[in-house]
Amino acid sequence: MNLKSMNYGYDFILGSVAAIYVFMVPYTKVEESFNVQAMHDILYHWHHLESYDHLEFPGVVPRTFIGSLLVSILASPIMLVVNLLHMPKIYGLIAVRLTLGCVVLSTLRFFRIQVRNKFGHQVEAFFVILTVLQFHFLFYCTRPLPNILALAAVNLAYGHWLKGNFYATLNFLIFATIIFRCDMVLLLGPLGLELLLTKSISLWKAFKCCFGTAILCIGLTILVDSIMWKKLVWPEFEVLWFNSVQNRSSEWGTHSFHWYFTSALPRSLLAAYPLFVLGVLLDRRVLSFVIPVFSFVLLYSKLPHKELRFIISSVPIFNLSAAVAASRIYMNRKKSFWKLINIILLGFLLISLGCTVITFMASYENYPSGNALKYLHRIGNYANSTEEQWVHIDPFSAMNGISRFCESDFPWRYSKEEGIPLKELFKRNFTYLINEHSTVDGYTCLFTIDGFSRIRLQTHFPPVILVKEPKVYIHGNTETKYLMHKNWPGCP
């Protein structure tokens, strides 16, 4: 197999796994809501800003439109076909997610090529193997989170870092920090400091180069986002102020200082977690790449609100270190001591595969309201209906799988109005309710959708099972006669 076909083979493997995740779990959660709704509005409303979702539901802090604009532009040829064929909007969501995945994986490809050039083909192969056997990286790479948009720029920074283009490395990190995720400054700082201490860059030249990039990025985000938000705004500065200065991110939950090292990284890296430590010991070249990224995670640990997605940018470098260790073990597998280590390595890889399958199965069941709306469209659609069918979506359902891409055309209409008391819903004359409550006055429960609850271990086969329970209830208005005459699945 020649080098070119190997490269495309790796791309095909990584892209195929990411695409499977998209098609099997197309829906999105609240963390992705801004960019998902923005992509929908850009593709369907174009310049009619008054129809954009973010003006009605602005969220806690503003986010940038630059990533959504870029992905929407790249996805527009596919969307043209979707619209010409009058396909449901959900195919638009799949299109933008696949497009985002292509962007992220193309930047990972650039990084992977630099890994091959610096550490060899075998390390590159193990890098791909480890990435495929990790659920979270390929699952997240198609999800329109600010962290993932930043990840694309960080991958390019990592690639230039390995290539020796240190000023380009800093520029890509500045771009990611100013436009997509202000917390990337926690990676920019340690990496820049290491480059200064090793005399890889000069302070004055770095200042001139980075200052110019910073000014251009600030100007770009203020120009674009002020137009879209209809006010003067630099989104990531407001995010920085909210999270760091006001320290209000903790309102969304807190974890202990060690959580990233004892929970998030083990779950995301799996077999690569112990291997990346071994890689640092086996190859001195790896240490200079791991230290700034490890420092990034360490600094991030000081913030009380923690989520795995916040540190997902660290995964490629940790995987590089792990791939170096796996390659060394494989090369020495015929030696007596290393033979045992090689067997342990194979065991770790199999455990990673098992954990990835289980996590995927749990994620498949983790978007109940998206499935609820899909089934409602399917079984609640009345032929030749001329009456509007209003669906009220409560905050829980809006956060767990429903976006504008899930909506259908007439006769369906939707409301996401918040703060309506349960007793007032009947007075609003909604046809259907999708919410987390099992009973609502004036409505009858038509069917429920189960969602993932927990994992249960047992002594017999299969050793691991997923426990599901009703998460979303679909109610029908009792005064809507044609609705009451239909044969619904019912509720437990």
Contacts 24+ apart (CB under 8 A), 341-350: 345/271, 345/275, 348/270, 348/271, 348/274, 348/275, 349/129, 349/133, 349/271
Tell me the pLDDT tens digit for each residue of 228-259.
Answer: 999 999 999 998 888 776 666 666 667 899 99
Residue 476: which H helix or E strand, with range? strand 464-477
Handedness of CA 278, 279, 283, 287 (dihedral sign): negative
Lowest-confidence region among 30-34, 36-40, 146-150, 478-482: 478-482
What does the DSSP 8-state code read for residue 490?
A: B
pLDDT of 385 over the 90 cut: no
Residue type present at position 168: A
10 Å CB burial of residue 231 (0-12, 13-18, 19+) is exposed
Please give the mean pLDDT across all residues of the chain: 92
Residue 487 is predicted with a pLDDT of: 84
pLDDT of 1 over the 60 cut: no
Tell me the pLDDT tens digit for each residue of 152-205.
Answer: 999 999 999 999 999 999 999 999 999 999 999 999 999 999 999 999 999 999
Tell me the pLDDT tens digit for each residue of 34-58.
Answer: 999 999 999 998 888 888 888 888 8
Residue 251 is predicted with a pLDDT of: 64
Alpha-carbon span 162 to 323, nearest angstrom: 15
pLDDT of 401 over the 70 cut: yes
Residue 69 is predicted with a pLDDT of: 96
Residue 53 is predicted with a pLDDT of: 87
Pick the closest to residue 96 from 65, 68, 75 (CA basis): 75
Residue 155 is predicted with a pLDDT of: 98
Residue 461 is predicted with a pLDDT of: 81
Tell me the pLDDT tens digit for each residue of 279-332.
Answer: 999 999 999 999 999 999 999 999 888 999 999 999 999 999 999 999 999 999
Residues 6+ apart with CB under 8 A from 394: 433, 434, 435, 436, 437
Instruction: Name the pLDDT band for 4 (thresholds 50, 70, 90).
Output: low
Residue type present at position 72: S
pLDDT of 386 over the 90 cut: no
pLDDT of 478 over the 70 cut: yes
Residue 214 is predicted with a pLDDT of: 96
CA dist list (Å): 395 to 14, 176, 299 = 34, 30, 33
Task: Tell me the percentage of the chain whose pLDDT exceeds 90.
Answer: 75
Residues 6+ apart with CB under 8 A from 410: 388
Residue 12 is predicted with a pLDDT of: 95
pLDDT of 336 over the 90 cut: no
Instruction: Name the pLDDT band for 2 (thresholds 50, 70, 90).
Output: low
- The residue written with tokens 């909210």 in the block is 242
